[in-house]
Amino acid sequence: MPSEIIGLTQWLDTPPGQCLLSWERAQFDQALADVFGYHALQLGLPQLAALSSNRMPHQWLAVGGDLAGFEGDDAPRDLHGAARGGGSQSGDLDNGAAARPISPALRLHSAALPFASGSLDLVVLPHTLELSDDPHATLREVERVLLPEGRVVISGLNPASLWGLRRGRWLRGLGQGQLFLPEQGHFIGYWRLRDWLRLLDFEVESARFGVYRPALSSARWLERFAWMERMGARWWPILGAVYFVVAVKRVRGMRLIEPAWHRPRRRSAAPATATHQQGHGPGVD
């Protein structure tokens, strides 16, 4: 009899789950450090403080009621106060917030966000789409609440990877009693995600893959295969266990007006003064 399949929350506490979170945390810290604005939202995965490096003054962490795998979360509390410490309105998370789960400040439905249209500068979706009941509706809602030129950052498990192959049900017939990854949710391929973004007028600004190690459950063996990260990024870049996508919302027919000090000044040529000297030619009095 196959053993019981663990949920996402329990799986993230395992060595492969911690390996995945470590890589994703580094990507979010690097990608969001220089994203400016006023309002940012992280939807899902409180185990990962994705906005820790971002300096926007207003940040929210929300868990969707339709998202699977977030059982056992604490009661909601204010992200600016309790999670950040001291009730400060600063946009910087404390040092320990990146290593421990943050209690969600909002509980909502991912396809019905309680924000006005065009009100957010940044939305972060760590494994949110693959755990949503209707991922396309969730992405449409994100497009609605984002400002023009706002950014959405998405991370997801790659089905075309060594880890993704070990999620198939057919492995049980080969003697695999327990699936390597949690069964909750549905994998969304990278190219399929790009098509969805293109339909919603998003432009993919950057995309990268990571975690090329074999699907192993031991922390010791995962560490031994750390050398595959450099090899995989060079020789089979699209076969990483997780992908990381940054996309920008474009609005057709809209042109951003730059500040006046950014406009190049036209330099007018200085008027040239011509002088004519009258003289007497030779032999003329």
Q: For position 240, what pLDDT does the model report? A: 85
Q: Which stretch, 108-117, 176-185, 269-278, has highest mean pLDDT? A: 108-117
Domains, the chain: 8-253 (3.40.50.150)
Give yes or no for a contact between 109 and 141, defined as CB atoms under 8 angstroms apart.
no
Residue 192 pLDDT > 60? yes
Q: For position 157, what pLDDT does the model report? A: 87
What is the DSSP code string of 16-69?
HHHHHHHHHHHHHHHHHTT---SEEEEES-TTS-TTTT---SEEEEEEETT-SS
Q: For position 195, what pLDDT does the model report? A: 95
